[in-house]
Structure 1
Amino acid sequence: MADTFRLSVPIIIAQLGVVLMGVTDNLFVGRLLGAVPLGAAGLANSLSFLMSSVGVGGLSVVAALVAQANSRADAAGINRLFRAGLWASVLMSVVLGGLSVILAFYFELFGQSPDVTRLARDFMLILSASVLPLLLFVAARQLCDGLRQPRVAMLITLSALGFNALFNYVLIQGVGPFPQWGLMGSAVATLLSRVYMAVAMLLYVYWQPLFKPYLLAEFAKLPVQVEIRQILRLGIPGGLTFFFEVATFSLAVVIVGWLGDDRLAAHQIAINLASVTYMMATGISSAAAIRVGAAIGYNNVDGALRAGIAAFVLSVSLMSLAALLFLTTNDWLVSLYIRDNPGVMHIAASLVIIAGVFQLSDGVQVVALGSLRGMADVNVPTVISLFSYWVVALPLSYVLAFPLKLDAVGVWIGLLTGLTVAAVLLTVRFFRRIRRLHRTTPLPVSGISPV
């Protein structure tokens, strides 16, 4: 468990950086511009992250593949996976960025108020340009994570957050020589921050002596078409699994928007807080995928089981603390976003309480997904996620919110139910796969495993 914890911490912080860009945007927008721009920025951030989630989730399989290749001491294979990951990120960004642009131009389909629609469309168009640097950063980071060197991604992410906060302030307000762009200044700040992250990550990988054995000149001639297909074959189902969950929460934003702008702003505050703890759990999930993948590379099924159980324990512990925080300090957390709208603050505080309740389900399901990804099990988890979120969570959210008139609280009860179903089914899937591997897997390679 200690090894999982050491590996998880820097990955957690790096994962947090992806979602904290949106949190930072919302904090500045809510404080400086008010409830309607906050709702628009939140909706645009949610839908933009929805589009990029297929790439972010899909590319995460590369770290597990790198860990398996490292278990075999296959430096050339690691090189091919690294270059293939970069090419896959470019391919995905063209498709996903294009879809994001199309979605922005048809924003009226979401049935929001005219002001929210106008502001969110322009915000999302700027965010669409940031999909490429975001996915390049994620792809380059997989080499570091797979080789158990995640700290640099953590440091780059932390510095990017400071960069994003600074430019949010100066571009929204028009400080000094900078233009006053209002809400669009926040979107530009995120774009600039993601470009910085991609450039810094690639420079580190190519200049750090630690990675030189995997970046030899003779490796550059090796074809990577097979690895690109492998990443897409394994990554797209994994990315779709991530997409189905993110889409559920993004569409929940749309449903809440039908209830009114005040509900939309309140929902955005609560979902921002929940997304922070969720991304922390995805750090543990990534560590689980790496350790389980390394154990599978050594044919060490018991090691894979121990790595999975350690990740479950860590995630439950972390999310229990998050639940306690949400349940006891909900009013204070909401006040960080907005102070001058008591109606929005009251609704958001009640939603944060429900977010506290579903922390455990969220933490369990995401770690189960990571453990299964380390075993290259991606197709059945995708079906489970589709069922849990789109068959259970979304329809139930709508029914509770409108026919049963539970308002925004009903939407969140539906989300809680879907997360719980996913947590149960994915956990059962993991332990069944372990039992099956016990019956079919030969003895560990050389009798040695790092797990």
Structure 2
Amino acid sequence: MMLQQYTKEFKYNFNLAAPVMLGMLGHTFVGFVDNVMVGQLGSAELAAVSLGNSFIFVAMSLGIGFSTAITPLIAEADSEDNFAKGKSSFKHGLVLCSILSVVLFILVLLSKPLMYQMDQPEEVVVLAIPYLDLVAISLIPLIIFQAFKQFSDGLSLTKYPMYATLLANVINVVLNYILIFGKFGMPPLGIVGAAIGTLVSRVVMLIFIYWLLLIRTKSKPYVTNIKVFVLHQPMIKKLLNLALPSALQMFFEVAIFTAAIWLSGTLGKNAQAANQIALNMASMTFMVAIGFSVAAMIRVGNQKGLKNYLDLRRIALSTFLMGAVFAVFFAICFFIWNQWLPTLYLDLNDLKNLADNTEVVSIAATLLLTAAVFQISDSLQVIILGALRGLQDVKIPTLITFIAYWMIGFPISYILGKENQLGSLGIWLGLVAGLTAAAVMLLIRFNFLTKKLLLENQ
């Protein structure tokens, strides 16, 4: 009976989370297709995409993390039936995300010379720079799209971002096939073709979600007659107080995974390619946890608006439980198929690169065993973080993520990840330690806050 009070929320949680999962999985699936297609060109090309994307991921983490501040504000205004508050939150969030997208694009371009200072294989750097130039431009439509996505999620219209993302994915896959390999009379552009596919698909994704929100009765008043030059300082301040810590939370996590890519690069192109494969597989399962994180953020935000703190705590715990169940399932899959999954990315019939490709598969298989372990803590920490954002508690969780990833996780990765220590496995053991520390500390924080709210409102 005790368990039933949580399991009865599973259906609603899943219905809310599923479109987010499918959209995010579709988004990550494009990365999977990119990696599989580029992997056919060789391990150097795969490592180059990994290196180029490592810069993009850092910028994306700031942009996406920043945009998440919009969702709890919209969810709270929606439950209060306060249209003016909701529209103001969306408008100011859209303007701030648009400005941030241009700033991040410029910062990525300015950071390119760092590639030569990072002890990466030279052939990989030469391939990565033209790829990065084009993908950097795609940050602008991507982060503006995120503002619309987070707004749509806040209204519980989680299907619309999914539709836009899935359309973008189809376009990306088709363009990749044509441009990477030079089909239908086009010249083969290699990894630059993959970058063009990414850019075009993200522009289409932004246009499509705007159109979807424009034709829906509930969302149309929010996305029309937006007076972007009429801004109010209190709302900007409120959004920044939520958005900047949220951006830092995501940055601290993505940055440690980016550091893992760079540390892998110091071990050679094969270690870096293997890291990219394992990271891509782990990120696909992580998108399921992201779905539950968004569901937790929306539902906690709604209950906060209603001031129903008993249900708030129960509903949040139900999302944590669901996330844990799915994470254990994925962990088992990684344990069973760790040897086979990496072979999807490389051509083992390519005799010229057989030695390199075989080594990549061997390293990636070991890393997937480690990924199986951190599935559970990684899922829990992001779902709990979503619930805390729904409570609009962002400052202490930001400190927690910094301590977990950069004072616990990274030192372990750096020390154990050296060639004369455990190499790639050591890097990933640091990730396990950081994610587990984050999950434990965030759960303590959530437990403390919700019990305090219950005591104050008895």
**TM-score normalised according to structure 1 size:** 0.94
Q: C-alpha offsets along residues 36-84 of structure 1, whole Å, 9 cap, x if unaligned?
A: 1001101211220111111101211211110100111111111112211
CA distance in 1, matches of 2:223, 2:419: 59
One-letter amino acid of the counterpart of residue 34, structure 2: D
Question: Which stretch shows the higher mean deviation, 7-16 or 252-261?
Answer: 7-16
Q: CA 1:209–1:109 in structure 2 vs 1: closer, same or farther (change >3 Å)?
A: same
**Unpaired segments ≥5 residues, structure 2:** 1-8, 349-356
Q: Is the 8 A contact 1:97 1:129 kept in 2?
A: yes
Q: C-alpha offsets along residues 172-220 of structure 1, whole Å, 9 cap, x if unaligned?
A: 1111243321111001111111111011111211232232344565988
Partner of 1:279: 287
Pick one of 30, 48, 69 that aligns with 2:39: 30
CA distance in 2, matches of 1:147, 1:25: 32
Partner of 1:419: 435
CA distance in 2, matches of 1:173, 1:213: 45
Q: What is the CA distance between 1:257 and its match in structure 2? A: 0.8
State the 4+ residue runs in structure 1 displaced beyond 6 angstroms.
Answer: 218-222
Please state if 1:232 is matched with 2:240: yes
Pick one of 322, 328, 341 that aligns with 2:336: 328
Q: Is the 8 A contact 1:25 1:187 kept in 2?
A: no
Pick one of 401, 423, 438 that aligns with 1:385: 401
Q: What SS is found at the alignment partner of 2:105?
A: helix
**TM-score normalised according to structure 2 size:** 0.93
Please state if 1:435 is matched with 2:451: yes
Q: What SS is found at the alignment partner of 1:346?
A: helix
Pick one of 359, 362, 386 that aligns with 1:370: 386
Please state if 1:121 is matched with 2:150: no
Please state if 1:263 is matched with 2:289: no
Q: Is the 8 A contact 2:267 2:419 kept in 1?
A: no
Q: CA 1:216–1:351 in structure 2 vs 1: closer, same or farther (change >3 Å)?
A: closer
Q: CA 1:302–1:191 in structure 2 vs 1: closer, same or farther (change >3 Å)?
A: same
Question: Which stretch shows the higher mean deviation, 215-224 or 174-183?
Answer: 215-224
Q: What is the CA distance between 1:24 and its match in structure 2? A: 2.4
- The correspondence of residues 8-23 of structure 1 with structure 2, limited to 5 A, is 8-23=17-32
Q: What is the CA distance between 1:342 and its match in structure 2? A: 1.1
Q: CA 1:195–1:224 in structure 2 vs 1: closer, same or farther (change >3 Å)?
A: farther
Pick one of 102, 106, 112 that aligns with 1:94: 102
Q: CA 1:43–1:221 in structure 2 vs 1: closer, same or farther (change >3 Å)?
A: closer
CA distance in 1, matches of 2:310, 2:66: 26
Please state if 1:179 is matched with 2:195: no
CA distance in 1, matches of 2:364, 2:391: 39
CA distance in 1, matches of 2:220, 2:172: 31
Pick one of 151, 156, 163 that aligns with 2:159: 151
Partner of 1:448: none
Pick one of 387, 393, 396 that aligns with 2:412: 396
CA distance in 2, matches of 1:332, 1:207: 45
Pick one of 251, 258, 262 that aligns with 1:250: 258
Pick one of 72, 85, 91 that aligns with 2:93: 85
CA distance in 2, matches of 1:308, 1:324: 25
Q: CA 1:17–1:441 in structure 2 vs 1: closer, same or farther (change >3 Å)?
A: farther
Q: What is the CA distance between 1:267 and its match in structure 2? A: 0.8
**Unpaired segments ≥5 residues, structure 1:** 443-451
Partner of 2:300: 292
Q: CA 1:335–1:298 in structure 2 vs 1: closer, same or farther (change >3 Å)?
A: same
Q: What SS is found at the alignment partner of 1:338?
A: coil
